[in-house]
Amino acid sequence: MKRKLANAENHKSITENVYKNIYVNEKGFEGNISLLNIKKVKNEWHVKRRNGEEECILAPKYKWLEMFPYNKNYAITAIFNENEKVIEWYIDIIKDSGLENNIPYIDDLYLDIVITHKNEIYVLDEDELKQALEEGDINEDEYNLAIKTGNQIIENLKNSENVEQLKRFTDKYYNILKGEK
């Protein structure tokens, strides 16, 4: 299982960033929200969509708004380009989250869901999830948790009101964290 830190301390491609984090407790969300302002990278990341378009998801001047709700089996990263437009929401399916030295972390269960700015939904890394089970990195309960959580998230994202709510929530906390010095 991979542990990921919100400040990108253990991230192989991000070499310099500015990190901010706040605790949020409001109706529908309790947890931490972090903003990672990416300054330098070893290499940019580009993804190819089903329609053949290629989009950059990691580059200097990009920002990642990371949302870590308590007691949920997912974490969400909204990826903003250099023009402050959301490219995608990347949803990590997780076993657990918490704080390590006051930095939010997730214990990643490999399976990921992406919803693009065009409302396209993708499931990623099902092969990595199966391989982790086969190699004993996760157990059958963790595998089933990942599948169940992924299916629930996909069903929720099929409801356009849920997607609009995610967009409003993202914009609100992006503006709050972006404005903090």
pLDDT score at 99:
94
CA distances from 138 to 11, 36, 49, 116 (A): 22, 29, 29, 28
Question: Given pLDDT bands bounded at 50, 70 and 90, which one contains residue 111?
Answer: very high
Domain boundaries of the chain, sorted by first residue: 2-179
What confidence tens digit (pLDDT) does each residue in 57-110 have? Answer: 999 999 999 999 999 999 999 999 999 999 999 999 999 999 999 999 999 999
CB-based burial of residue 81 (10 Å sphere; 0-12 exposed, 13-18 middle, 19+ buried)? middle
3-state SS class at 171: helix
3-state SS class at 92: strand
From 2.60.40, 2.40.380, 3.40.50, 1.10.3470, which CATH number describes the 2-179 domain? 2.40.380
Mean pLDDT of the chain: 94
Alpha-helix residue ranges (DSSP H) falling in the chain:
126-134, 140-157, 160-179
Q: What is the pTM of this model?
A: 0.94
For residues 135 and 32, what is the distance between their CA atoms, to the nearest angstrom? Answer: 32
